[in-house]
Amino acid sequence: MVDNKQVEKRKFPRLFASVIIDYSIINTDFPGSIKGEIKNISAGGICMVFYEDISEGAELMMKFYLPDNSSPVIAKSKVVWKEKFEISGDSIKRFNAGIEFTEIKDSDREKISKYIFKALKSKE
């Protein structure tokens, strides 16, 4: 007998969120900081929207502020997956991308975890 239940592979709980993020691509000629939008977040990484065609495996430096915190989360990260998507009637390129934190302070990871658990608790 085959069990068709989907297995959850994530190590951390995930929360849908709309948070603006500043990021830069490491080891590239692409200049400066770029703005993006976080779609969902966990203590292990984020899903975000890119407006540039950034390759899988690219390393990023990112900074963002959680809604209930005045100090930024800063993390080195890696693009794990990406997929192009379109909005009808709009010619702007957009990509959903899965981003894994590769270097993040324990205090920043804890800040994310507390934010998620607080938000999930308030939905109960």
DSSP 57-114: T-EEEEEE--TT-SSPEEEEEEEEEEEEE--TT----EEEEEEEEEEE-HHHHHHHHH
Classify residue 87 as left (phi > 0), alpha (psi -120 to 50) or beta.
Answer: beta
Could you list the residue range(s) of the whole structural domain that residue 64 is in?
Answer: 15-123
- Per 3-state DSSP, what percentage of the chain is helix, strand, and coil (rounded to 5)? 15, 45, 40
Q: Is the pTM of this model over 0.85?
A: no
pLDDT in tens, 3-49: 444 434 557 777 888 899 999 999 877 767 889 999 999 999 999 99
The stretch 108-116 carries a mean pLDDT of 94
Q: How many domains does the chain have?
A: 1
Provide the CA 1 distance to its chain's centre, in angstroms. Answer: 37
- The pLDDT, as a whole number, for residue 1 is 44
- Looking at the predicted structure, is the pLDDT value of residue 68 above 90? no
- The pLDDT, as a whole number, for residue 37 is 92
Instruction: Report the CATH number at residue 61.
Output: 2.40.10.220
- Identify whether 7 is part of a domain: no
pLDDT in tens, 70-110: 899 999 999 999 999 878 887 788 899 999 999 999 999 99
- Identify whether 5 is part of a domain: no
- Identify whether 1 is part of a domain: no
- Identify whether 110 is part of a domain: yes
